[in-house]
């Protein structure tokens, strides 16, 4: 039973083995010609025969039966040294010099060995074929006048260079009968050879002795005189490709093959079978739907979604564009959906990279190799047994939560406020622009919300009004310049009246009052008055006391009269006072009244007297009784006049509030203030015009700004900028207060939020692989319970190391599929897959280097076909498995051959997509060169920090005295001594200075490749300190290859040594070998795309010589490319408007001593360097068009891989704390101490922080 919590539904029994063609109901195969007796013929049948004919030519003449037994083609160890042979047959690495110790015999053997090594490397790298083998026993015969020869038995051998020698190792694989010989004997001689019997005859008690097998064949052919069997041990390239492919191509009845073969109905059916796919924005994708097991960019997302929809597809992949990670994600998605896939490539490096990427993601063994299925199965079992169920719900929830907050923040940055009509990002940009003006505005005025809203649509009009006000002199005087500032008059007459009043006060009123009051006060114990207000108090006090003394005796002021007040008051007030005492107090009060004076309101008069007494005592603390001075009346009258004038001025000046009145000023300050009012001022001229403008400005609520402009006397041409600053800053403050999604412009919160997202997103991606691993582990566990017999059979197969694909599929079909739902194969071994095994998707990688006929075995097993390749560097080329002296190279045109590739055939039949983002950390100059020269500018790449530091990534060395003699046969000048020496020297220099980087020398000349390799070996022999670099076991060892051999090989650094020179007379020949042949530009593209980091070009021919119009176009193409090396474009067109906040930051960084470039290569908003450090700065604006994952995690990672130190600067931080950002960058490069230093910041909420 399947558990309820299992991730997937069970695989139906027999699903992995199809007994009928799944396309049998397809209309493309139900052909009718309108005649019931006629036999329908598929229109593609003619193409089938053409493909089969092409297959028969693959690999050339089979060395299994057409072996050329000549010295250059093989290493004959039949007469080898016994000690060396014993070591060799014991599977120990053995040098050729130990096998063949005779100098005369060793020389041709060494030559043949080097030829075999080169041949083996080319076949392995470009075809995935390992054909070097030990031929045991040589059989020669004739049939129908044709001579045949081949080994009887074979055993795989590995050859590798070891210094000046060649190391030979017998592989662990068992001896096998030559299948070509077995087949030929059966067909030609009607002799059946039992492979197992012949192999068994070589085993003599565990020792290998082939004589019995040779004798057995001699006995079987003794009746024929045309068969010779000799006891020989020869090492050569033994193998064949075509026969197995022909056997596998018997049934080509398949919709896609029919369409490729020209069946019109099938072509329409394939074109119409495309399933529409809805692409989801990564930011909108739910976490449980985002199941990529490795990183993925938008181009790759679209491709994976299309593949998962069941579509066939052509994918154009430029160098380094992430084809492997796209494929790995597609495989993960298919396997998660319980589907099977087959990946086919002629290049082992491509398949190995896929396996390595899966293993790196924790999915080792997900894909099993057809060549060694047991290894993948064991890895998968180990993974399944160790996998634990991941708990990722919290991670997924956190991912969605953090992503949502970040998206809301992004949205809030660009969201326009409904009332103001602008966004926060616009505010930052405009404020940044203002700060970059030659004289930036400096206003600190704050506009209220009413002003901000009203100005949102009338900012220009308000600016014109301000400019008009400035023209009228409104800002010539400020509050500190004249007391008339800000005073409004109805007309000029009112202004003149007010100034005349001030003049009267200043010249007469105030001085006279002060003089009179001083004389009056001097007659009393009162202190001299400090303000006009105090004068008023004293005048009124003395006048009131004078009135009281006129009616009462002066002694009434001697003591408090509170008891008298109670007694004379209403009954309620005197309640509690005995009546007798009350009458006595009333009588006493009347005694204070002067004789003859009648007081109508005695109670009220006593209250006034008590108040006057209290005021007197407040100012006179000596106990002196009140006295009445002379001149009081005149002083009183003068005060009344001054008081009236000051009150009117208070009204005009708006100082009527207590504490602000003129009467509250000290006499001296008041006198000086009146003096300023009296002074002539331009502010009082043109009042009517200014008042009209002022009224309009008041309607805009701009008084705070007007006051600030007047205070600073801002010129008219600058008032518009000041208004913009006040409005945009106010708008920003308002938006920040309203938008909660902006997180209060808290930089620390933003940084923490993005850091948390990166951590969670990394955990999510890793968790996707863990989830898939658990899903596979569950399938495996359930499979063990459901199919125990298969489990036992599988265990036995793996334990005995006898795993082959047919055995695995026949004995454990369900468990094999559960373990490895993906198979990796070469087009030359895909036939090992059972004919009934079908795949939901077949991926043909490097499809540009395969003809359709070579991929038939993969295509016919596919429900959907996805081909991936580089349309520029890849083209199918013929090859030969065996070495032959009479090999004829067909006249070739790589362009024509590319048009015959599987990739070209499928283009137009199924949809095409492209991967154009290169992730190689290659230099900008080599990336730009390749992009312009070969990919029409369609390739995108991340700038390399080394290029920003000035390190070239493509260098041209023209060899001095690059002359040589033309070859007598070819007429070409190949492998000039000076070029060999220079290439060798660069190889030695690399080994010394960059031993951790891989290196390869490539050349257009096979002769030059041999000579350079020999020269390097000779040089290294005398340099023991460099042996480790050249002799170490590495996945990318040093090698020297021709351009054809290098198609599938990459290294960190490449030396492209042309290999052709000039004649002794300095003449340049038009023949540059393969580069001069039609389609040679493709090989030229190979030369410049094999390096991940650096290309050095060595040429004996000058650039301009190669650009001679008389040369063939393919030769001239090399000159054009080299001309671009010497004359790169001036640079990226950087005329677009820069982010003002970054311009400001750039100025600060330059002030620190850094070199800064804005919008570097159009890819980095701000790039800075100092002391070998390169800084890449991203802002909110630069990341806005990317998904959250790409902007916050993938892009920083890509920049870091290219050597950049990444800095994320938020817009709010660039605006409010640019110095802090600059110091952070300065600290990274060592220009600023790491200790935090307080720096002034611009508060986006205002100077007061509100």
Give pLDDT, residue 1234.
Answer: 59
Give pLDDT, residue 1169.
Answer: 94
Burial of 39: CB neighbours in 10 Å, binned 0-12, 13-18, 19+: exposed
Instruction: Name the CA dihedral angle for 677, 678, 680, 681, rounded to a multiple of 10 degrees.
Output: 10
Mean pLDDT, range 1143-1161, rounded to an integer: 94
Backbone angles phi, psi at 628, to 5 degrees: -105, 115
- Report which of residues 97 and 207 the model is more confident about: 97
Q: Residue 31's pLDDT band (boundaries 50, 70, 90)?
A: very low
Angle at 552 between CA 548 and CA 557, to 5 degrees: 75
The alpha-helical segments, DSSP class H, found in 150-263 are: 179-184, 195-201, 211-220, 242-248, 255-260
Tell me how far apart the alpha carbons of residues 545 and 534 are, in angstroms, rounded to a whole number.
16
The distance between the two most distant Cα atoms of the chain, rounded to a whole number of Å, is: 183
Residues whose CB falls within 8 Å of the CB of residue 939, separated by 6 or more in sequence, listed in order: 318, 319, 321, 916, 918, 927, 930, 931
Domain 953-1126, what fold? Rossmann fold (3.40.50)
Give pLDDT, residue 491.
Answer: 53
Tell me how far apart the alpha carbons of residues 1153 and 795 are, in angstroms, rounded to a whole number.
68
Structure-token match 């817009």, residue found = 1211
Give pLDDT, residue 477.
Answer: 56
Structure-token match 């030929």, residue found = 184
Q: Residue 1239's pLDDT band (boundaries 50, 70, 90)?
A: very low
Residues whose CB falls within 8 Å of the CB of residue 699, separated by 6 or more in sequence, listed in order: none
Mean pLDDT, range 645-662, rounded to an integer: 75
**pLDDT 10s digits, 870-899:** 999 898 988 999 998 876 656 667 778 888
Structure-token match 């360097």, residue found = 1169
Tell me how far apart the alpha carbons of residues 601 and 621 are, in angstroms, rounded to a whole number.
30
Burial 358-381 (b: 16+ CB within 10 A, else e): beebbbbbbbbbbbebbbbbbbbb
Tell me how far apart the alpha carbons of residues 810 and 764 are, in angstroms, rounded to a whole number.
38
CA-to-CA separations, 1232 to 140, 1155, 1226, 1242, in angstroms, rounded: 82, 15, 5, 21
CA nearest neighbour of 1000 among 1047, 959, 1052: 1052
Q: Provide the 8-state DSSP code for 965.
A: P
3-state secondary structure of 281: coil
**pLDDT 10s digits, 478-526:** 555 555 555 655 555 566 676 677 778 777 877 887 888 888 888 888 8
Burial of 333: CB neighbours in 10 Å, binned 0-12, 13-18, 19+: buried
**How many CA atoms lie less than 13 Å away from 1120 in the CB half-sphere?**
15
- Report which of residues 671 and 1053 the model is more confident about: 1053
Tell me how far apart the alpha carbons of residues 141 and 131 are, in angstroms, rounded to a whole number.
23
Give pLDDT, residue 170.
Answer: 94
Backbone angles phi, psi at 955, to 5 degrees: -130, 140
Residue 1175 has pLDDT above 50, yes or no: yes
Q: In the structure encoding, which two tokens stand for residue 436, read together?
A: 């970059």
Q: Residue 1087's pLDDT band (boundaries 50, 70, 90)?
A: very high
Residues listed for the chain = 1250
The alpha-helical segments, DSSP class H, found in 739-871 are: 747-786, 788-799, 805-811, 813-819, 856-859
Question: What are the structural domain ranges in the chain?
Answer: 60-239, 416-482+685-738, 492-680, 953-1126, 1140-1229
**pLDDT 10s digits, 280-305:** 888 999 988 888 999 998 899 999 99
Tell me how far apart the alpha carbons of residues 301 and 282 are, in angstroms, rounded to a whole number.
8
Q: How many CB atoms lie within 10 A of CB 960?
A: 9
Mean pLDDT, range 1227-1232, rounded to an integer: 90
Which residues share a beta bridge with 1056?
1002, 1097
Q: Provide the 8-state DSSP code for 509.
A: I
Q: Provide the 8-state DSSP code for 574.
A: H
Alpha-carbon 485 to chain mean position: 59
CA nearest neighbour of 650 among 483, 479, 482: 483
Residue 985 has pLDDT above 90, yes or no: yes
Domain 1140-1229, what fold? Trna Endonuclease; Chain: A, domain 1 (3.40.1350)
Judged by average pLDDT, the poorest of 463-472, 670-679, 1195-1204 is 670-679
Residues whose CB falls within 8 Å of the CB of residue 43, separated by 6 or more in sequence, listed in order: 258, 261, 262, 263, 264, 265
Average pLDDT, the chain: 85
Is residue 719 within 8 Å of residue 475, measured between CB atoms? yes
Judged by average pLDDT, the poorest of 338-342, 1109-1113, 1212-1216 is 1109-1113
Residue 17 has pLDDT above 90, yes or no: no
Residue 14 has pLDDT above 60, yes or no: no
3-state secondary structure of 928: helix
Tell me how far apart the alpha carbons of residues 734 and 739 are, in angstroms, rounded to a whole number.
9
Judged by average pLDDT, the poorest of 185-189, 197-201, 534-538, 1211-1215 is 534-538
Percentage of residues in the chain having pLDDT higher than 90: 48
Alpha-carbon 785 to chain mean position: 46
The pTM for the full model equals 0.82
The alpha-helical segments, DSSP class H, found in 418-478 are: 424-435, 449-455, 459-471
CA nearest neighbour of 1096 among 956, 931, 926: 956
- Report which of residues 690 and 117 the model is more confident about: 117
Give pLDDT, residue 890.
Answer: 60
Mean pLDDT, range 126-149, rounded to an integer: 94
Give pLDDT, residue 840.
Answer: 95
Mean pLDDT, range 1160-1182, rounded to an integer: 93
Residues whose CB falls within 8 Å of the CB of residue 10, separated by 6 or more in sequence, listed in order: 2, 782
Burial 1010-1021 (b: 16+ CB within 10 A, else e): bbbbebbbebbe
**How many CA atoms lie less than 13 Å away from 555 in the CB half-sphere?**
7
């Amino acid at each position: 039973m399947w558990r309820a919590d299992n991730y997937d539904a069970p695989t139906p029994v027999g699903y992995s083995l199809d007994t009928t063609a799944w396309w049998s109901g397809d209309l493309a195969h139900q052909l009718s010609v309108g005649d019931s007796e006629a036999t329908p013929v598929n229109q593609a049948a003619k193409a089938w025969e053409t493909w089969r004919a092409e297959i028969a030519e693959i690999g050339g003449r089979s060395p299994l039966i057409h072996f050329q037994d000549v010295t250059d083609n093989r290493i004959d160890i039949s007469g080898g040294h016994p000690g060396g042979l014993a070591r060799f047959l014991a599977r120990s690495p053995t040098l050729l010099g130990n096998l063949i110790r005779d100098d005369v015999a060793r020389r041709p053997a060494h030559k043949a060995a080097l030829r075999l090594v080169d041949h083996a490397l080319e076949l392995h790298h470009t075809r995935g074929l390992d054909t070097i083998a030990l031929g045991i026993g040589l059989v020669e015969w004739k049939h129908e006048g044709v001579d045949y020869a081949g080994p009887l038995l074979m055993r795989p051998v590995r050859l590798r260079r070891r210094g000046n020698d060649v190391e030979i190792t017998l592989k662990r694989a068992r001896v096998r009968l030559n299948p070509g010989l077995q087949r030929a004997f059966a067909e030609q001689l009607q002799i059946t050879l039992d492979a197992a019997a012949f192999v068994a005859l070589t085993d003599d008690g565990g020792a290998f002795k082939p004589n019995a097998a040779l004798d057995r064949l001699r006995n079987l052919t003794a009746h024929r005189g045309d068969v010779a069997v000799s006891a020989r041990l020869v090492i050569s390239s033994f193998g064949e490709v075509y026969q197995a492919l022909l056997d596998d191509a018997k049934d080509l009845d398949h919709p896609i093959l029919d369409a490729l073969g020209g069946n019109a109905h099938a072509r329409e059916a394939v074109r119409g079978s495309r399933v529409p796919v809805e692409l989801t924005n990564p930011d909108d994708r739910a976490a449980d739907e985002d199941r990529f097991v490795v990183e993925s960019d938008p181009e790759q997302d679209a491709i994976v979604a299309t593949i998962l929809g069941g579509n066939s597809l052509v994918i154009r992949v430029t160098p380094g564009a992430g084809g492997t990670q796209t494929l790995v994600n597609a495989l993960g998605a298919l396997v998660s959906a319980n589907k099977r896939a087959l990946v086919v490539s002629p290049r082992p490096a491509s398949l190995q990279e896929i396996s390595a990427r899966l293993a790196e993601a924790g999915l080792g063994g997900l894909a099993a190799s057809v060549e060694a299925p047991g290894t993948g199965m064991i890895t998968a079992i180990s993974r399944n047994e160790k996998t634990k169920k991941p708990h990722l719900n919290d991670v997924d929830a956190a991912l969605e939560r953090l992503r949502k907050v970040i998206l809301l923040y992004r949205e809030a940055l660009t969201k326009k406020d409904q009332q103001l009509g602008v966004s926060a990002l616009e505010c930052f940009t405009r404020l940044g622009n203002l700060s970059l003006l030659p004289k930036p505005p400096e206003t600190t005025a704050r506009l209220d919300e009413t002003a901000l809203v009203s100005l949102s649509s009338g900012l220009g009009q308000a600016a014109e009004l301000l400019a008009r006000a400035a023209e009228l002199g409104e800002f010539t005087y400020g509050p500190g310049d004249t007391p008339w500032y800000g005073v409004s008059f109805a007309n000029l007459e009112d202004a003149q009246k007010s100034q005349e009043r001030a003049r009267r006060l200043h010249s007469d009123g105030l001085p006279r009052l002060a003089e009179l009051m001083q004389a009056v006060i001097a007659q009393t114990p009162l202190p001299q008055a400090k303000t006009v207000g105090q004068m008023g108090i004293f005048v009124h006090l003395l006048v009131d006391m004078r009135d009281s003394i006129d009616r009462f005796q002066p002694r009434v002021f001697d003591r408090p009269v509170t008891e008298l007040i109670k007694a004379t008051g209403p009954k309620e007030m005197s309640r509690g006072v005995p009546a007798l005492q009350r009458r006595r107090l009333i009588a006493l009060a009347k005694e204070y009244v002067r004789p003859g004076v009648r007081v109508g309101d005695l109670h009220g008069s006593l209250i006034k007297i008590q108040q006057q007494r209290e005021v007197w005592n407040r100012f006179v603390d000596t106990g002196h009784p009140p006295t009445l001075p002379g001149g009081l009346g005149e002083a009183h009258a003068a005060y009344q006049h001054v008081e009236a004038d000051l009150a009117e001025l208070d009204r005009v000046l708006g100082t009527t509030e207590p504490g602000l009145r003129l009467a509250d000023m000290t006499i001296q300050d008041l006198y000086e203030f009146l003096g300023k009012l009296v002074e002539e001022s331009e502010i009082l001229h043109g009042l009517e015009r200014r008042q009209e403008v002022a009224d309009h400005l008041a309607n805009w609520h701009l008084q705070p700004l007007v006051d600030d402009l007047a205070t600073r006397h801002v010129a008219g041409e600058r008032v518009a900028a000041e208004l913009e600053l006040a409005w945009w800053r106010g708008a920003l403050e308002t938006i920040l207060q309203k938008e909660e999604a902006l997180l209060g412009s808290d930089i620390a919160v933003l940084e923490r939020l993005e850091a948390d997202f990166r951590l969670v997103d990394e955990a999510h991606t890793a968790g996707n692989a863990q989830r898939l691993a658990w899903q596979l582990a569950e399938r495996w566990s359930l499979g063990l319970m459901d199919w125990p017999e298969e489990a036992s059979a599988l265990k036995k197969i793996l334990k005995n190391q006898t795993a082959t694909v047919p055995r695995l599929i026949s004995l454990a079909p369900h468990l094999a599929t559960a373990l490895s739902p993906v198979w990796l194969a070469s087009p030359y071994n895909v036939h090992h897959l059972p004919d009934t095994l079908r795949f939901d998707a077949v991926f043909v990688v490097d499809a540009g280097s395969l003809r359709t006929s070579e991929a038939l075995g993969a295509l016919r097993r596919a429900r959907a076909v996805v081909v991936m390749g580089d349309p520029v560097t890849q083209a199918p080329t013929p090859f030969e498995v065996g070495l032959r002296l009479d090999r004829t190279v067909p006249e070739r045109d790589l362009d024509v051959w590319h048009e015959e590739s599987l990739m070209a055939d499928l283009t137009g039949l199924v949809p095409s997509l492209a991967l154009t983002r290169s992730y190689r950390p290659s230099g900008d100059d080599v990336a730009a060169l390749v992009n312009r020269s070969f990919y029409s500018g369609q390739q995108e790449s991340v700038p390399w920090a080394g290029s920003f530091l000035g390190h070239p990534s493509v260098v041209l060395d023209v060899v001095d005295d690059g002359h040589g003699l033309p070859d007598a046969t070819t007429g070409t000048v190949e492998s000039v001594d000076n070029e060999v020496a220079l290439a060798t020297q660069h190889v030695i220099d690399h080994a010394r200075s960059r031993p951790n980087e891989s290196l390869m020398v490539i050349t257009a000349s096979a002769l030059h490749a041999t000579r350079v390799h020999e020269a390097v070996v000779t040089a290294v022999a005398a340099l023991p300190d460099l042996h480790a670099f050249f002799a170490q076991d590495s996945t990318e060892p040093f090698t020297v290859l021709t351009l054809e051999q290098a198609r599938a090989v990459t290294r960190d650094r490449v030396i492209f040594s042309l290999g052709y020179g000039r004649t002794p007379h300095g003449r340049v020949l038009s023949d540059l070998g393969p580069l001069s042949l039609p389609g040679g530009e493709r090989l030229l593209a190979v030369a410049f795309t094999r390096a991940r980091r650096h290309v050095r070009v060595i040429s004996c021919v000058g650039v301009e010589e190669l650009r001679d119009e008389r040369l063939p176009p393919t030769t001239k193409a090399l000159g054009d490319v080299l001309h671009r090396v010497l004359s790169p474009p001036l640079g990226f067109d950087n005329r677009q408007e820069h982010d003002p906040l970054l311009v400001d930051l750039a100025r600060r960084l330059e002030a620190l001593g850094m070199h800064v470039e804005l919008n570097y290569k159009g890819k980095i908003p701000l790039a800075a360097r100092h002391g070998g450090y390169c800084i890449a700065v991203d802002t909110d604006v630069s990341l806005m068009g990317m998904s959250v994952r790409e902007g916050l995690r993938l892009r920083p990672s890509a920049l870091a891989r290219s050597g950049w130190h990444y800095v994320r600067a938020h817009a709010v931080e660039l605006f409010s704390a640019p110095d802090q950002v600059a110091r952070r960058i300065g600290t990274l490069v060592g220009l600023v101490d790491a200790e935090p230093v307080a720096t002034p910041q611009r508060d986006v909420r205002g100077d007061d922080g509100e």
